[in-house]
Amino acid sequence: MAKMTFLMLMTVSLTACGFQLQGAFSPPAGMERTYIETSDRYSPFLREFEAQLRAAGVQLSASADDATATFTIFADETDQRVLSVSARNVPTEYEVFYSVTYSLDSAAKLLMPQQTLTLTRDYTYDSTLVLGKAREEELLREAIVEDLVRIVMKQISTL
C-alpha cells in the first residue's frame, strides 16, 4: 500500500512540474519531402542525418525542384588537435572535434537560420597502443556524429 501511494505521489509530482518523456522526432509541416544540399555526399554526418530522417518518415528528394524543404549543409568538417605532450614532446592527449554549419528553409521561408554546431571529445594517447587508440578515435567520431544529429533533429522538431 505504501509503495502504491508513493508511486502515485511521484506520478502526480512529475506531471505537475511539467515533466514529459521525450518522444520520437516529429518533422514540422513542410518537411514531407526534403532535399539535402551539400558538397560532401559521403560525410558521416550526412549519412546519419539521412538515416534519422528516413526513420522519422521524411521522404528524401533527389532534387530541390520537387522538395517541400531544403536542408543546406554549408560546412561539415572533422579533425583532431593535440591537447598535451610529454616531456619528450610526444603527444599524450588529443581532442577530436566535428563541426557542422547548416540551415533549413521551406517554400522560400527560412525555418532555421544558418548556424554552426561543434562538439568535441578528448582522449589520451599511448604510442604502444596505436591500433586501439585509432579505433577509440573512430568510435569517438561516430559518437560525436550521433550527438550532432540528435541535436539538429531536436532543433528541427521544435519548429
Q: How sure is the predictor about 133, in pLDDT bands with cuts at 50, 70 and 90?
A: confident
Predicted pLDDT at 35: 96
Q: How sure is the predictor about 128, in pLDDT bands with cuts at 50, 70 and 90?
A: confident
* Cα–Cα separations (whole angstroms), residue 130 to 111, 126, 136: 45, 7, 10
The cell 550526412 sits on which residue?
A: 46
Q: Mean pLDDT for the chain?
A: 86
Q: How sure is the predictor about 90, in pLDDT bands with cuts at 50, 70 and 90?
A: confident
Predicted pLDDT at 76: 95
Task: Kindly list the domain boundaries of the chain, sorted by start residue.
Answer: 27-157
Q: How sure is the predictor about 107, in pLDDT bands with cuts at 50, 70 and 90?
A: confident
End-to-end CA separation in angstroms for the chain = 44
Predicted pLDDT at 22: 55
Q: Please state, for a pLDDT cut of 90, what percent of the chain lies above it.
A: 57
pLDDT (tens digit per residue) in 144-156: 999 999 999 999 9
Choice between 2 and 81, residue whose per-residue pLDDT is larger: 81
* Cα–Cα separations (whole angstroms), residue 23 to 27, 35, 78, 157: 12, 24, 30, 10
Is CATH 3.30.160.150 the right assignment for the domain spanning 27-157?
yes
Count of Cβ atoms closer than 10 Å to residue 155 Cβ: 14
pLDDT (tens digit per residue) in 4-55: 665 665 665 655 555 445 556 778 888 889 999 999 999 999 999 999 999 9
pLDDT above 90: residue 141 = yes
Mean pLDDT of 105-111: 87
